[in-house]
Amino acid sequence: MKVAEIFAGAGGLALGLEEAGFKNVCCLEIDKWATKTLRKNRSNWQIIENDIALFVDNFSNYKFPEIDLLSGGFPCQSFSYAGKKAGFQDKRGETFHYFAKLIDVWKPKSFLIENVRGLISHQKGETFRNIIKILENKGYKIYWKILNAWNYGVSQKRERVFVVGFKQSFFGDNIQFSFPKEYEYKLNLRDALKDVPISQGVEYPQSKKKVLDLIPMGGCWRDLPEEVAKEYMKKSYFLGGGKTGMARRISWNEPSLTLTTSPQQKQTERCHPEETRPFTVREYARIQSFPDNWEFIGSLLNKYKQIGNAVPINLAKEVGLAIKKTLSSINI
């Protein structure tokens, strides 16, 4: 079964679908370092470094086979809780419309979209309802669900919404699809980082390290002396909410919190259980379930960004297997 990947990034979703048994015929990505990573690891894939708008407008110039699956996660910052939630007013949010146009010209049997959970509630749900309506009007039966990577062989609490569509003119009334069942055993950080290769990593500034040295394993800002916490958190100290991502040291016996594109943001510390430092590049990759032989090209910070933006491989694989099961039942 053939898959084309849009907004491929460093290849998390594409690699997971490959492990599910799909043959990759195209990876489209605009970031030059992410495309270098893809080419380094999969020289047999067709890697296209281009903007999706130009790709769609010039689609007739390319020669592609029919595809069983079109997959990708359009940029999520426009809908993220951590961002400004500008949605389609943000140019990055507009990329969904090009994904929708690509469905028109490529006419895949199915598609897969991954995005942040915040997409569901953006503009009180109106944005997501419009997305579903647009996709249904193209003749696809739509399924969607919020999945937590921790339930699928990933040592990380990372919730994302997955939208899957099947072309009704191809499948008729025989579409039967279910999202993957959750694993019984949930991985902890110790499982993920056992024998992890040594690699580069950023360091905390001394001022931050001095504060995080006071945090026990599994602890956060609440374990700090009150005056230290107030000085470290500034105005955030007086805001509502648990703020448990601040000054957070992960325990060996729990999964990591959601990895971000930077390992040392003040609001989202993910401190190593025993050493007062952020996770290294290979530790970041392990937590995202990348194999150790998957190399990342670029600066140290760019590598973190590529990994933090990726779909966890094991989660992508499980969703891919579920889609493949539906496609296989019809092909037979």
> How many CB atoms are located within 10 Å of the residue 204 CB?
18
**Cβ contacts of 170-174, under 8 Å, gap ≥ 24:** 170/109, 170/330, 171/109, 171/141, 171/330, 174/329, 174/330
| Cα–Cα dist 227/221, whole Å | 11
Instruction: Determine which helix (DSSP H) or strand (DSSP E) holds 265, and give its type and residue range.
Output: none
Catalytic, 27? Answer no
Tokens representing 1 are 């079964």
Q: How far apart are CA 146 and CA 163, in angstroms?
A: 9
CB 198 within 8 A of CB 282: yes
d(CA 8, CA 35): 8
DSSP-derived secondary structure letter, 123: G
Q: Say which DSSP state 310 is in.
A: S
Pick the catalytic residue from 26, 27, 76, 271.
Answer: 76
Using alpha carbons, list the distances in angstroms from residue 282 to 43, 256, 286.
Answer: 22, 14, 6
CA distance to 86, 137, 189, 311, per residue, from 290 (Å): 31, 36, 14, 10
Active site residues: 76
